[in-house]
């Protein structure tokens, strides 16, 4: 059976924790999109880890971790990451890399930096990991597939050709040092040596695994609102963040995805620029940021402070709908225990009209939040394992949110650890 774990919002919803938890019953975990630009934070028996490229299943002995064809594969980063976990006594995970995955090249990272510099104040807030230049090249059909590392003639010719094009831009647009084809080729030879033992025809492997009834988990990065088509374009990422893309980015039939767990955080946070309707500022935001997540809401990859806001029912309802949600995992609820009252965004006021439908970006920029304040529960809920034992106001908060978004909250996460989870029945379950 294939299941997907994806985000409803701007990312950082706690997908890593939910994937790590669900990976206990999985045989295979697949990353199907994105790159090393964002991270998952995972807390387990080995300690606390920030993963960027590796799937969140790498901490179990029984799982195979796959880098699917949809991923932007940065080979040195992948191997540093493997080292960073094995250095901390995690056994070497079983890893497979799709022969159809494309590679982030050293110049993608440079172009990302140069373009942000060139745009100055009008930049997109890129993490400068080369992701946008990588996906641009992939779709311009000048990217490098892992399989191409194994064809030396093709590689030499292609490296020369690509350097010629890139050097025009470097010289005339960015005024930066030119690429040396020899150096690039030798980088690629190193990449080949590193990755060779792991290269696999992943779609064939997964086809067989599905036939054998294996449990496969597709792990998404970021969330619906960062999807290039359905998100807050252009302040989006460069690959689709939707569960539907899991089929493409892993190489499996779409109808095999039977469960879609959409992760929603009990309040909002976002990184980078772009409209964020329920955003809060000042002391109120600082306090939530400091108390948020597990040790504060700061980017797992960049350390950047995240922008903070109240839970946004409009964005989350939309986020869940586009994912094709079968289950909502409602996370980081424990953090809200310090509040006597909790505002929730229940609608958008756009030019005097109230809507609960998430609009296109131009309208989103004008939206003002319609807030409803719910009573808080003012106590610690970590450690609770049964839904009925949650404080009354806490259950009311969950049920209010569920009613607003219209998708079943079947998991409530009340702490960063694997066991901090409460399962519940929902009237919205099919
Ligand atoms: P992801 O990218 O969606 O996996 O999210 P991140 O890992 O960037 O951010 C989630 C943060 O919240 C991490 O620091 C997690 O350890 C933490 N976390 C996840 N679930 C919970 C929870 O239920 N309660 C608390 N307090 N922290 C959580």
Mean pLDDT of 214-228: 96
The answer to whether 178 and 169 are in contact (CB under 8 A) is no
Atom of ligand 1 nearest to the CA of 43: 16
pLDDT recorded at residue 300: 66
Residue 185 clears pLDDT 80, i.e. is over it: yes
From CA 188, how far away is CA 374, in angstroms rounded? 56
Distance of CA 338 from the midpoint of ligand 1 (Å): 18
pLDDT recorded at residue 299: 75
Structure tokens at 378: 């003012």
Pocket test for ligand 1, best of 15, 302, 332 (most atoms within 8 A of CB): 332
Residue 224 clears pLDDT 90, i.e. is over it: yes
Residue 28 clears pLDDT 90, i.e. is over it: yes
39-87 tens-digit pLDDT: 777 778 888 888 888 988 888 889 999 999 999 999 999 999 999 899 9
Mean pLDDT of 149-170: 96
40 CB-contact burial (10 Å; exposed 0-12 / middle 13-18 / buried 19+): buried
88-103 tens-digit pLDDT: 989 999 999 999 999 9
Pocket test for ligand 1, best of 8, 17, 20, 414 (most atoms within 8 A of CB): 17
> Is 229 annotated as catalytic?
no
Residue 163 clears pLDDT 80, i.e. is over it: yes
The residue that leads in pLDDT, 202 or 35, is 202
- Cβ < 6 A, ligand 1 pocket: 7, 11-17, 39-41, 43, 293-294, 300, 331-332, 334-335, 413-416, 420
pLDDT recorded at residue 140: 94
Pocket test for ligand 1, best of 225, 294, 383 (most atoms within 8 A of CB): 294
Distance of CA 15 from the midpoint of ligand 1 (Å): 7
pLDDT band at 278, cuts 50/70/90?
very high
pLDDT recorded at residue 125: 65
Longest dimension (CA), the chain: 68
Three-state DSSP state, 151: coil
From CA 77, how far away is CA 401, in angstroms rounded? 38
The residue that leads in pLDDT, 262 or 54, is 262
> Is 207 annotated as catalytic?
no
Strands 341-350 and 353-355 come out as antiparallel
Distance of CA 164 from the midpoint of ligand 1 (Å): 44
pLDDT recorded at residue 111: 95
Tell the CATH superfamily of the 102-196 domain: Adenylosuccinate Synthetase, subunit A, domain 2 (1.10.300.10)
pLDDT recorded at residue 273: 83
Residue 281 clears pLDDT 70, i.e. is over it: yes
pLDDT recorded at residue 32: 96
Residue 159 clears pLDDT 80, i.e. is over it: yes
Residue 37 clears pLDDT 70, i.e. is over it: yes
Atom of ligand 1 nearest to the CA of 223: 3
Distance of CA 294 from the midpoint of ligand 1 (Å): 6
Q: What are phi and psi of 287, to 5 degrees?
A: -65, -45
Closest CA to 286 of 269, 264, 265: 269
Distance of CA 396 from the midpoint of ligand 1 (Å): 22
Mean pLDDT of 148-156: 97
Structural domain spans, the chain: 2-82+204-423, 102-196
pTM of the model: 0.94
DSSP string, 197-264: GGEE-HHHHHHHHHHTT--EEEE--S-GGG-TTTSSTTSS-SS--SHHHHHHHHT--GGGEEEEEEEE
Distance of CA 220 from the midpoint of ligand 1 (Å): 14
Atom of ligand 1 nearest to the CA of 13: 3
Highest mean pLDDT among 9-13, 20-24, 47-51, 344-348: 344-348
Structure tokens at 125: 């807030």
Residue closest by Cα to atom 5 of ligand 1: 12
pLDDT band at 301, cuts 50/70/90?
low
Computed over every residue of the chain, the mean pLDDT equals 94
**Percentage of the chain lying above the pLDDT 70 cut:** 98
* Fold that domain 2-82+204-423 belongs to in CATH: Adenylosuccinate Synthetase; Chain A, domain 3 (3.90.170)
Catalytic residue among 20, 40, 52, 420: 40
Q: How many residues does the structure list for the chain?
A: 430
Lowest mean pLDDT among 17-31, 307-321, 398-412: 17-31
């Amino acid at each position: 059976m294939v299941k997907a774990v994806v985000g409803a919002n701007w990312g950082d919803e706690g997908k890593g924790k939910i994937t790590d938890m669900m990976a206990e019953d999985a045989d295979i975990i697949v990353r199907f999109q994105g790159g090393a630009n964002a991270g998952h934070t995972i807390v387990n028996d080995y300690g606390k880890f920030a993963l960027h490229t590796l799937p969140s299943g790498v901490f179990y002995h029984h799982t195979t971790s796959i880098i699917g064809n949809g991923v932007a594969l940065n080979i040195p980063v992948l191997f540093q990451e493997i080292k960073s976990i094995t250095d901390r006594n995690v056994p070497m995970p079983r890893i497979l890399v799709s022969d159809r995955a494309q590679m982030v090249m050293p110049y993608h990272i440079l172009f990302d930096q140069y373009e942000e510099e060139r745009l100055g104040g009008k930049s997109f807030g890129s993490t400068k990991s080369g992701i946008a230049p990588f996906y641009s090249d992939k779709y311009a059909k000048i990217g490098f597939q892992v399989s191409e590392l194994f064809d030396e003639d093709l590689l030499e010719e292609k490296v020369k050709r690509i350097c010629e094009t890139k050097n025009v831009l470097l010289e005339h647009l960015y005024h930066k040092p030119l690429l040396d084809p020899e150096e690039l080729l030798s980088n690629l030879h190193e990449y080949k040596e590193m990755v060779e033992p792991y290269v696999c025809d992943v779609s064939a492997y997964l086809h067989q695994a599905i036939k054998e009834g294996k449990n496969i988990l597709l792990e998404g990065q970021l969330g619906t609102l960062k999807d290039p088509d359905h998100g807050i374009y252009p302040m989006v990422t460069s690959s689709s963040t939707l569960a539907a893309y899991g089929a493409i980015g892993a190489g499996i039939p779409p109808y095999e995805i039977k469960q879609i767990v959409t992760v929603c955080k009990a309040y909002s946070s976002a990184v980078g620029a772009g409209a964020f309707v329920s955003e809060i500022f000042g002391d109120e935001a600082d306090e939530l940021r400091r108390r948020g997540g597990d040790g504060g809401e700061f980017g797992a990859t960049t350390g950047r402070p995240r922008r903070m806001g109240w839970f946004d029912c409009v964005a989350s309802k939309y986020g869940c709908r586009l994912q094709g949600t079968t289950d909502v995992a409602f996370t980081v609820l424990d953090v809200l225990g310090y509040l006597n009252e909790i505002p929730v965004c229940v609608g958008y006021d756009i030019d005097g009209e109230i809507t609960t439908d998430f609009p296109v970006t131009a309208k989103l920029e004008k939206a003002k939040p319609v807030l409803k304040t719910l009573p808080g529960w003012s106590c610690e809920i970590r450690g609770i394992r049964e839904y009925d034992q949650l404080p009354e106001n806490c259950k009311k908060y969950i049920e209010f949110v569920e009613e607003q978004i219209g998708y079943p909250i079947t998991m409530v996460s009340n702490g960063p650890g694997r066991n901090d989870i409460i399962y519940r029945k929902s009237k919205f379950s099919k």
